[in-house]
Amino acid sequence: MIYHKEETSRIYFFDNLKAILVTLVVFGHVIEPRLWISIITISYSFIYLFHIPLFVFCSGYFARCKPKKILTKLIIPYILFQIAYILFERIVFGNTSLHIQFTRPYWMLWYLFAVTVWTLCIPFLDRVTGSRRSLALTISASLILGILSGFVNTLGYYFSLARIIYFFPFFIIGFCIKKTGNAEALQRVTAKPQVRYTCSILAMGTLVWLYFHHSTVDVLWFYGSFSYYSLPGYTFLIRILCYIAAFVLSVFLLAVTPGRKTFFSYIGQRTMPVFLLHGFIMRLLMRYNFYSILEGRLLFFASIAITLLIVWMLSSGLLRRAYQFKQGRLMKLNKSTRKYRKKLEENLSGKDISFAHISDYKKVADLKSNWLSNFASGIKTSDIFIDEFMWNIFSYKKLPCIEGDDATAYFLAQNKTQCYILFEHYKDAYYLESATPLTKEDLIDNIDFPSKDLYIVSKRFNWTYVLTHESDLGPYYYQRKKACDS
């Protein structure tokens, strides 16, 4: 069951859904070089009917039009990986015809570019989806535009315009589901037995149809990149059928996706490294002739195993931990970090709050250890990635707490006679006295801070207030029972 508390709690349903979808993305790319094998063609066609539309739906659901987030999460990764993949192709494959450019996204990077464009459209979508009628008109208009765009022969891969238009309806639907708070209603509908049975029958029917007719199906129909004039047999009716199939099969996957925590839920929280990095592994498989070793069904089942291995490796947390180690050692000298400290200290001084900067690594480590021992003692933390973010004890509901604006209100009401400021990824801290006037805005809102995960905790570790870098999670406030603060 999805509750309408997505802003402040970890929703396993979406973690599970994104984990399944990113695995299908990798699997589709693994089997793509051998599409003449029947079982691979059938599987590839079936996957491509719905997995990208549903991924776009998820992107729309979680999208926020925040300039800094768009820059750091979309634009910069696009630029860096566009350069990296092109250099990789030139060096490893000797493909000197490829030159560094940003108008034709490399392979899967079209998705980053498209999400950037769609996200920038959110202010407009917010204005034109104010009522149910305008919402329905907006979705209908985007579908009609997606169908009509197939008549334009000049879109193609340039700026991924064709795909941006074709998949835009799914982004709008995801955005509107979030805006109207209908995620719970959506899952209630898809969880109904009659819906599950109907969609399962339709999904099986699609597979059976593909089994008998896959030789007449062009997988390029599902890419959204080609006009009706560029592919044999491709018409606007085919595109309409593709839209219908995408909706039906998406509902099918929504219906069968578990809402509880599973052994693969963590993958859904780490889809970005899987998405961005698996292409290098894929190209290396081609470079070293993996596809010439196996054939037929044996290749198909080997591809499943390789897909699971790739997803596991890239989502295992090793890369994240290495990055966080680098953050802890190197970001201490970052210019923006120094700027943050200066501004924070100005805010504290401006309110006559006494403070002392703690730069002793061991002292800071002891403070974090005390935070965990006081607030996470007796809690099973092996499955919530507490080594990545201590606040996962709250986002995973391991410890009941106060969330959102209520958490901030409780924090403001505290005397804050003596307390600490701890940072998730930094090896320093602050000790404060007479900090009652301290507000959330003094800590982060009006300051340019590169890693917005910080903890305010009383000297006696009786209460803690937590801010996170995730716009949908936190703030959190927790006070130990029978605790009187200092």
Tokens of 149: 């765009």
pLDDT in tens, 382-412: 666 777 788 989 988 888 899 989 999 999 9
> Any residues with CB less than 8 A from the CB of 83 and at least 6 apart, and which?
100
| Residues 426 and 330: beta-carbon distance below 8 Å | no
Q: Quick one: tokens of 244?
A: 């219908």
CA 480/CA 486 separation, integer angstroms: 13
Predicted confidence band of residue 1 (pLDDT cuts 50, 70, 90): very low
In the three-class reduction of DSSP (H, G, I as helix; E, B as strand; rest coil), residue 477 is classed as: strand
Kind plus residue range of the DSSP H or E element containing 206: helix 193-213
Question: pLDDT-derived band of residue 124, with 50, 70 and 90 as boundaries?
Answer: very high
Between these two residues, 332 and 287, which has the higher pLDDT value?
A: 287
DSSP characters over 401-466: -EEHHHHHHHHHHS--SEEEEEESS-S-EEEEES-TT--HIIIIITS--S---EEEEETTSSEEEE
pLDDT tens column, 5-16: 433 345 788 999
The radius of gyration computed from the CA coordinates of the chain, to the nearest angstrom, equals 25
Residue 329, pLDDT above cutoff 50:
no
Dihedral of the CA atoms 459, 460, 466, 467 (nearest 10)? 0
Which pLDDT value is given to residue 60? 94
* pLDDT in the model for residue 335: 61
Average pLDDT over residues 418-427: 88
| pLDDT for the residue numbered 318 | 63
Grade residue 334 by pLDDT with cuts at 50, 70 and 90.
Answer: low
Domain coordinates in residue numbering, the chain? 12-316, 331-479
Q: How confident is the prediction for the chain on average, in pLDDT?
A: 87
Q: 21 with 54: CB under 8 angstroms?
A: yes
Whether pTM exceeds 0.95:
no
